[in-house]
Structure 1
């Protein structure tokens, strides 16, 4: 499902949250934005799958069994902007977005 969210610049912003669930998302723009998956809560949390978007290729984030505690897909942008991404819930095996964006 394609989603667009307004993201403020500054710190890490959560775009999707998972609790005891699986999910996959694809991001492409804005160029230079950083994405990651954050497992856990507070100082007990751990970052995974850190990537930087290049504006042309799709970057994939996946959440699996680590979401038993809590998992969040997060993005950090240099300037406030709208971010469009494609997200799939559940254990769907997806290797690329169904609809190019």
Structure 2
């Protein structure tokens, strides 16, 4: 499902949350934005799959077994902007977005 969210500049912002569930998302823009998956809570949490968007290629975040607790897909942007991404739940095995965006 393609979603667009207004993201404010600054610290990491959560775009999708998972509790005991699987999911995959594809991001492309804005160039220079950073994306990651954060597992756990507070200072006990840890980051995985940290990537930087280039505005041309799709970058994939995949939440798997680590979400037996709590997992979040997060983004960090240098200026406030709309971010469009494609997200699928339920452990869908998908190598690329269904519909290019």
TM interval, shorter chain, is: over 0.9
Q: Which runs of 5+ in 2 are unaligned?
A: none
Report 1:29-44 matches (<5 A). 29-44=29-44
Question: How high is the TM-score relative to the length of structure 1?
Answer: 0.99
Is 2:81 aligned against 1:47?
Answer: no
Partner of 1:58: 58
What is the CA-CA distance between 1:69 and the residue it aligns to? 1.1
Q: Which runs of 5+ in 1 are unaligned?
A: none
Partner of 2:27: 27
Question: How high is the TM-score relative to the length of structure 2?
Answer: 0.99
Output the CA distance in 2 between the equivalents of 1:48 and 1:92.
19
Runs of 4 or more, structure 1, over 6 Å off, are none
Partner of 1:95: 95
Is 2:42 aligned against 1:67?
Answer: no
SS at match of 1:67: helix
Name the Cα RMSD after superposition: 0.3
